[in-house]
Structure 1
Amino acid sequence: MSLLEIDNLSVRFGADAPPVVDGLDLRLDAGEVLAIVGESGSGKSMAMLALLGLVDPPGRVAADRLRFAGEDLLRLGGRARRRLLGKELALVFQDPLAALDPSYTVGFQLVEVLRQHLGLRGAAARRRALELLEQVEIPAAASRLKAYPHQLSGGMAQRVAIALAIAGEPRLLIADEPTTALDVTIQAQIMELLLNLQRERGMALLLISHDLAVVAECAERVCVMYAGQAVESGPLPELFDAPAHPYTEALLAALPEPGRKRLASLPGVVPGRYDRPHGCLLAPRCPYVQDDCRAHRPPLEAKRQGLARCYHPRNQENPA
């Protein structure tokens, strides 16, 4: 049994509104690194908020299965969910300064997490809080316990957010665009830190990103999302070497590379909630579109390197 099991997950804002997450299926094993990629607005973060029970009304979450470590997340009560979130299942948000409480010191926030999830108090909690800051490689960690979030740099604040996320010793860590607000040098340090922690603790890591170069370096599998749907998934690097879906192909073609004078672009825009095509959601932008693509929405089916939602997939020739 997989650590995380998601079948036919959908999120809607209004009973008659089109879904912002549309029929997502996902599996994640213990200790595995899985990446979810796609443009802004593709539903990556919303799917994870639904998993964590953080979609507020009028948002409505439905799924055939939404299970973590054998627990049915759709049926969890408030108290059971609070015990699970932050301990077994933790999240690193995209903006660390928005995730940290500006009214309390770093040390207070760490101690509170340790008290809630591990039952630590007093000197034992303070010692563990200091150890966590040292684990995330914060210099002069003891002095940072007394600091407020506004006194930290962006990279330092993200390290504190990671320390808070791992304080409960989670089995699954979700990192939602953890390096977006940081400069390039700090981005590499944060990603290296997350991967080191994942290996040391044996955690599963679910990385949400739009940076395919980062994903190619650190993930074992990838799920590509477009307009709320998973359009392709499979192992790395095989899927990036020979993508089946035209959208994945277009994302890879837009990556800057030495010697590439002009980056490829995909014309048009991602369909909104009320202008979704009848057939394939990529059909209005796809250079390979045919009549059946416009008439019917393709299912997610097995292809050479995994699963893809395409009637005319790319790179399906047998290797020589």
Structure 2
Amino acid sequence: MSLLTVKNLRVEFGEKKQSSIAVDGIDLNVAQGQRIGIVGESGSGKSVSMMAIMGLIDAPGRVSADVLSFNGQDLLGLSASARRKIIGKDIAMIFQDALSSLNPSYTIGDQLMEGMKVHLGLRGKALRERALELLSLVEIPAPVRRFDCYPHQLSGGMNQRVMIAMALSCEPKLLIADEPTTALDVTVQAQIMDLLLRLHQQHQMGLILITHDLAVVSEMTDEIHVMYAGQVMERAQVAQGLEQAKHPYTRSLLAAIPEHNKGAQRLNALAGVVPGRDDRPSGCLLSPRCVLADQLCVSQRPALISGLRCHHVQPVLDEANSPVDNMTQSLMKQV
């Protein structure tokens, strides 16, 4: 049975008559123990999609879906109080910037214990012991001393570990990690990702990992969803190898990886930017940036068929598989 089932998720902002779409028709299924990777440029709708699932989109934002269920429960149909019993307990999220997510006025210990008071009913000595156990679990040294520290007294890596401890405090069935290594140095990033993978294996929870790093996705997830301007452009099994990517956008992202540009004078990059929610093209959302775009692409938005959203799927499928082959290079523009 699927832990999380999402069909045709949409997030809109503004007045209904002049609303703008930030997320358009996302489908997602996460089973117990499954690891899903969501990648794409900034502004692709990755975080907004997950915030919608968590119920964190406030007015004037509006969330709708044909299906949005967790463990068989309709999340959109639940009352606010009923949803709060699930969010933070069975579904937890590690937010992008730990320092801005933690409250500077409360100690690490107080913030870590708050969720367990509400969801688990723990009090007194048992509550403190569980909090210290969690700090040890995420490998924070001297947890007794760090328990009474404030966020500004800890390093970025330690604050990120505190966020992970808070997310795991109620043993969630599904963990959403939104760029969990943002602003951390490379060695700390590797430690955090190793920790997440180890904790996932220990607890067999579902994991949704939002990231810009295709290398991380290939190492840590089972399935990849490539998002662009609020839509999924490609969905594929990582076991098949990212070098088998078929969509022009995915292949462009792969071609921009520094390792694929050794010896080049300049990095390959896809020219242009992700369109904002108020300036979406009427046809394929990638058409202003894609050299394969023709009149059909400009006038008609493609549907997601067999995990691909592209009018030129068949020509792409017929090309060589290497992410840096001639076909991929023709999709790129030097900037």
TM interval, short-chain normalised: over 0.9
Within-5 A mapping of 1:157-236: 157-236=159-238
User: Which digits, 9 at most, give the CA deviation of each residue in 1:3-35, with x for residues without a partner?
Assistant: 111111111112122200011111111111101
Quote the residue 2:326 is aligned against. none
Distance in 1 between the 2:62 and 2:258 partners?
39
1:60 partner letter: R
Which one is further off, 157-166 or 7-16? 7-16
Task: Identify unmatched segments of 5+ residues in structure 2.
Answer: 322-335
Q: Secondary structure at the match of 2:162?
A: helix
Alignment of 1:31-46 (within 5 A): 31-46=33-48
Q: Does 1:244 align with 2:249?
A: no
Give 1:40 deviation, angstroms. Answer: 0.4
Letter in 1 for 2:168: I
Specify the alignment match of 1:9 in structure 2. Answer: 9
Matched residues, number: 316
Does residue 297 of structure 2 align to residue 293 of structure 1?
yes
- Aligned equivalents of 1:35 and 1:117: distance in 2? 28
Instruction: Please tell me the residue identity of whatever aligns with 1:10.
Output: R
What do residues 275-318 of structure 1 show as CA deviations (whole Å, max 9, x unaligned)?
2111111111112112221121110001xxxx110111265249
Q: Does the 8 Å contact 1:91/1:173 carry over to 2?
A: yes
Q: After the TM superposition, which residues 1-320 of structure 1 pair with which residues of structure 2 at under 5 Å, given as runs?
A: 1-14=1-14, 15=16, 16-238=18-240, 240-257=242-259, 259-261=262-264, 262-302=266-306, 307-313=307-313, 315-317=316-318
The Cα of 1:177 is off from its aligned counterpart by 0.5
Q: Is the 8 Å Cα contact of residues 100 and 149 (structure 1) preserved in structure 2? A: yes
Instruction: Tell me how far apart the structure 1 counterparts of residues 242 and 62 of structure 2 sit (CA, whole Å).
Output: 34
- Hey, what's the Cα distance between the residues in 1 that align with 2:241 and 2:225? 10
For 1:282 and 1:264, how far apart are their aligned partners in 2?
A: 17
- Note the alpha carbon deviations across 1:24-56, whole angstroms, 9 max, x for none: 111111111101100000000000111011001
Alpha-carbon displacement from aligned partner over 1:109-160 (angstroms, at most 9, x marks no partner)? 2222221111111111111111100000001111111111111100000000
Please list every run of 5 or more consecutive structure 1 residues that lacks an aligned counterpart in the other structure.
Answer: none
CA 1:45/1:260 → structure 2, altered by over 3 Å: closer, same or farther? farther
Summarize the Cα distance change of 1:238–1:161 in structure 2 as closer, same or farther, 3 Å threshold.
same
Letter in 2 for 1:206: I
For 2:29, the aligned partner's letter is R
What amino acid does structure 1 have at the position aligned with 2:267?
A: L
TM-score in terms of structure 2 length: 0.91
CA RMSD, 1 decimal? 1.5
2:259 partner SS: coil
Contact 2:248 2:316 in 1 (8 A): no
Indicate conservation of the 8 Å contact 2:224/2:238, yes or no.
yes
Measured in 2, the distance between the counterparts of 1:299 and 1:24 equals 12
What is the TM-score with the length of structure 1 in the denominator?
0.95
Rounded to whole Å, the distance in 2 between the matches of 1:108 and 1:269 is 42
Q: What amino acid does structure 2 have at the position aligned with 1:2?
A: S
Task: Give the AA of the match of 2:217.
Answer: V
Partner SS for 1:75: coil
Give yes or no for contact 1:243–1:315 (8 Å, CA) kept in 2: no
For 2:263 and 2:284, locate their aligned partners in 1 and report how far apart those are by CA, in whole Å: 30
Paired residue secondary structure (2:85): helix
User: d(CA) in 2 for partners of 1:20 and 1:92?
Assistant: 21
